[in-house]
Structure 1
């Protein structure tokens, strides 16, 4: 592994648990570089500033959530089963305290709404679009303009995740169940009459 990559990985590995545990605002840059055994100059060189490092951590979390959703799709027999499995996997991931803190709480505030949404779309929109395309091809849901529908479905799923993530324990499981039931009802309205 080259030195640049090792330095970047060390900073991300040091920052991620700190951001997850205490939140972006409560973690000083000095603590991150000390935990990584590096200097502020190394952080500036590789990420620009603490928010640049946070964006990399957030994208790592998003990639892992995307991987969990993709894995859930693997065993699905049809597009509807895939949609149900993907939604469940996404909401399960959004109950993880690390995802709640980094992706749902801090990312919109630290990165700004537009950047946060662009990253969410980069990781989730293609997956949603492919699933909707498959469902339309199988005749499971009514044909729609897939790009518009994918944005709306992704937006609804993200909003559900935000709702679930903001509910403190012990009520989060109930909020998650309600969000899943409601999203499935919305998606169910797209099903063809033969289903």
Structure 2
């Protein structure tokens, strides 16, 4: 019997949720596709049909994590009407979300290793850096930050700093303290551009 589009989408979402939990708990290298197939009560053929292979499945999970973090950043940023505060709120939201247990391994550790730097950077740009760049451009146009030689350079430098800070936070035994220290540092850096 042929499945409806809704049923197919529900199956895909269920597989992604199961896979996300497995990849979070065990890491990509330690998850057998057979475990996911068994837990989802599906056949390997269904997984291959929708995701091609384990790496394709991981890519779908990685994209889901990126979307979730992006939503959290937007929610936190919009808690203020002030464009500068939105930037700071968004930076904090990224550090908090990216370093959470359910995200850190997939996003920061396995993501670059499994997908390769080119795919990782493309996904990072699509789900995080483009929004950051747009906001920095808006700050520039509104005269909130001083003219810079390149918004692209500023975006890449901030993004790289936040990715590295999120890794450091994830390894910390005192996440709240490390998040605050990272935000204090980021804010000091950003204040250098503020008009």
Mapping 1:106-185, distance limit 5 Å: 106-144=110-148, 145-165=150-170, 167-168=171-172, 170-185=173-188
Which residue of structure 1 aligns with residue 44 of structure 2?
Answer: 40
Mapped partners of 2:12, 2:81: distance in 1: 40
- Number of aligned positions between the proteins: 190
RMSD (Å) for aligned C-alpha atoms: 1.6
| CA positional deviation for 1:64 | 0.6
TM-score (norm 2): 0.90
Tell whether the 8 Å contact from 1:80 to 1:135 is kept in structure 2 after alignment. yes
Unmatched segments (≥5 aa) in structure 1: none
Mapped partners of 1:114, 1:180: distance in 2: 28
Equivalent residue in structure 2 for 1:85, among 84, 89, 92: 89
Mapped partners of 1:21, 1:75: distance in 2: 32
Mapped partners of 1:85, 1:147: distance in 2: 21
Tell whether the 8 Å contact from 1:142 to 1:190 is kept in structure 2 after alignment. yes
Which residue of structure 1 aligns with residue 194 of structure 2?
Answer: 191
Tell whether the 8 Å contact from 1:94 to 1:164 is kept in structure 2 after alignment. no
TM-score (norm 1): 0.90
| CA positional deviation for 1:177 | 2.1
Indicate the larger mover: 35-44 or 72-81.
Answer: 72-81
Tell whether the 8 Å contact from 1:11 to 1:36 is kept in structure 2 after alignment. yes
Mapped partners of 1:162, 1:78: distance in 2: 28
| CA positional deviation for 1:171 | 3.1
- Closer, same or farther: CA 172–85 of 1 in aligned 2, 3 Å: same
1:77-112, CA deviations, whole angstroms, 9 ceiling, x for partnerless residues?
322111111111111112310111211111111111
Large movers: runs of 4+ above 6 Å: none
Which residue of structure 1 aligns with residue 14 of structure 2?
Answer: 10
| CA positional deviation for 1:182 | 1.3
